[in-house]
Amino acid sequence: MRIHLISPTHYLPDGSLHKTTRYWTSGTTLPYLKALTPPEHEVRFTDELMHDLDLAAIEREADVVGITAMGPQIRRAYDLADHFRSRGKKVVLGGTWVSLTPEKSREHADAVVAGEAEYVWHRVLADLEANRSAGIYRADRWHDLRGLPVIDHWTLPLLKPDAFRSSWLYRMYFFWPIMFSRGCPHPCEYCAVQTYYRRAFRTRPVEEFIDEVQRMRSFGAQRFLFLDDNPIGNPEKAKEMLRRLIPLNIQWVSQATINVARDPELLDLVARSGARVLSIGFESLSDESLSSIGKSFNRPSRYAEDIAKLRARGIHVIALVMVGLDGDTTSTFAATLRWLDENKISFLKLFTPAPYPGTKFHAEMQAAGRILGEDWGRYDYGTPNVAPKNMTPQEMIDGFNFVYSGFYSVRSMLRRFVPPPRKNLLESLAMLVANLKVNSYLRRNPQSSWGTIS
Ligand code: B12
Ligand code: SF4
């Protein structure tokens, strides 16, 4: 069969499609699914974030259309699915959001893959080829992440191969995606990852991971993005991997929990293996807020010390912070901004709570009648989708804009970047440029709460 895989983009509030001409990394979902597809099928793919979909060509040439969706892409994914089905194509939906809402997704597709594709994709295709479908396909076990298919990295949908070969700046800008683990063992109640993987956490065999890094090094990859949600979920496995990474002399960025700073051996290995930037879900400075979302392990009283330890090793910290949680009041915003400045956070991503269906947080908010919006296309982290407890939704958005524009003001940048940390000066410069870009975006788009959406 001829298969066309699509990663849709999301709609902007005015109904247009969000597009970009350049991106600093790429997901691997589409080339990975292609590598997983039995060889008798022909596979093409399009990431709509950067490339326009040629609807007519897909209608003409494809037998099956496979669509992935994360976050607010889901609305566009359903629209595309309906479109292609109305043109007689067989449509399969999969990915993070689809896995949270398989029944709803089934209304828009001939087949739905809920969860990992490794054990079911070949069966879906065989069924569709035989003109049948079991509806929702869910593997009966998690994959052990051994012997994963090898992707063709030069086809990464958001990579510009020519720019990578010709431009020093682009080589600094682009982070090659790689994955060490899947899932996360923590219990945060709002988290899609926790719900999707049901808290199962697995790492790839270290040998296979290191082989992949070496393979990628051989074609010039130097800077890597770990796609992992929490690569230190099993600290001992992470240490084993990081020890092997040190001699490969790469630079990497990742998400991780703040626990990365609380284990001296782990922190030392993280720094020596080339970590440059870590995105850390602090979420809140309030113990009450953290306990309301099941993230008490964060312990705000230790944040300052933890961040100082990371910075002392030349690692920049991107803070992920939620606004309007149950322990927050309108005075929380000024305190948060002060804290971000004092701790010299390098970059900030703010989030209004998104009550993803299937999560415990969603169930609680629904039972309390606090869900404000069911338009999943607006689950973009900049829209009030949950009624806050101690403020109005408008106060939450005003507070969001206050923290966001305050953080990306020139005054705050001066406080946070002068003097820069002594190690990894070039990285500090790159972070400063990223701050300046958000500053300029905010001046052009006063509706800044949309600024955090990728
Ligand atoms: C890379 C990435 C991005 C990149 C690149 C995306 C791209 N277009 O290439 C960028 C930075 C742009 C991005 C943006 C966003 N992202 Co994102 N992203 C990821 C990340 C880190 C890795 C994705 C990946 O490549 N995984 C590797 C592949 C192999 O795994 P996979 O996608 O899960 O696919 C497997 C299965 O799910 C399944 N599958 C997936 N799709 C399909 C489709 C079909 C047809 C089939 C059969 C199977 C199938 O098969 C695969 C093999 O088992 C994930 C976290 C994660 N660990 O997965 C978050 C993640 C998916 N993103 C998330 C979110 C929220 C966002 C944003 C909304 C964030 C924001 N505020 O900006 C935006 C949304 C963008 C949009 N346009 O709407 C959430 C999704 C939550 C949810 N409920 O859906 C995740 C889970 C992160 C998180 N911790 O919450 N993202
Ligand atoms: S630590 Fe992060 S990835 Fe893990 S469950 Fe909590 S929010 Fe999700």
Residues 282 and 424 in one domain: yes
pLDDT at 453: 67
Q: What is the pLDDT along the chain (454 residues), one digit of tens a residue?
A: 999 999 999 999 889 999 999 999 999 999 999 999 999 999 999 999 999 999 999 999 999 999 999 999 999 999 999 999 999 999 999 999 999 999 999 999 999 999 999 999 999 999 999 999 999 999 999 999 999 999 999 999 999 999 999 999 999 999 999 999 999 999 999 999 999 998 899 999 999 999 999 999 999 999 999 999 999 999 999 999 999 999 999 999 999 999 999 999 999 999 999 999 999 999 999 999 999 999 999 999 999 999 999 999 999 999 999 999 999 999 999 999 999 999 999 999 999 999 999 999 999 999 999 999 889 999 999 999 999 999 999 999 999 999 999 999 999 999 999 988 778 889 999 999 999 999 998 888 876 666 566 6
Q: CATH number for the domain including 416?
A: 3.80.30.20
* Same-domain status, 133 and 182: no
pLDDT at residue 452, as a whole number: 64
**Whether residue 239 is found in the same domain as residue 322:** yes
pLDDT score, position 405: 93
Give a yes or no: residue 165 inside a domain: no
Q: Which domain holds residue 63?
A: 2-137
The whole-number pLDDT of residue 319 equals 98
Give me the pLDDT at residue 377, please: 93
In a domain, 451, yes or no: no
Of the listed ligands, the closest to the CA of 102 is 1
- Name the closest-CA residue to atom 1, ligand 2: 186
Nearest CA to ligand 1 atom 28: 29
pLDDT at 310: 97
User: Is the C-beta atom of 116 inside 6 A of ligand 1?
Assistant: yes
- 286, 404: one domain: yes
Number of structural domains in the chain: 2
Closest ligand to Cα 201: 2
| 170 domain residue, yes or no | no
Residue 70 CA to ligand 1 centre (angstroms): 5
What spacing in Å lies between the alpha carbon of 249 and ligand 1's midpoint?
A: 28
Q: How far is the CA of 304 from the centre of ligand 1 (A)?
A: 31
Boundary residue ending a domain (137, 165, 186):
137
Q: Say yes or no: 276 and 209 in one domain.
A: yes
Q: 137, 152, 183 — which closes off a domain?
A: 137
Domain membership flag for residue 340:
yes
Residues with CB under 6 A from ligand 2: 184, 186, 188, 191, 193-194, 229-230, 257, 281
pTM (2 d.p.): 0.97
**CA 21 to centroid of ligand 2, rounded, Å:** 30
Q: Is 220 exposed, middle or buried (0-12, 13-18, 19+ CB in 10 A)?
A: exposed
Tell me whether residue 207 is in a domain: yes
> For residue 329, is it within any domain?
yes
- Residues 193 and 103 occupy one common structural domain: no
Question: Is 280 part of a structural domain of the chain?
Answer: yes
Ligand nearest to the CA of 359: 1
Q: Which atom of ligand 2 is nearest to the CA of 190?
A: 7
CATH of the domain at 72: 3.40.50.280
In a domain, 163, yes or no: no
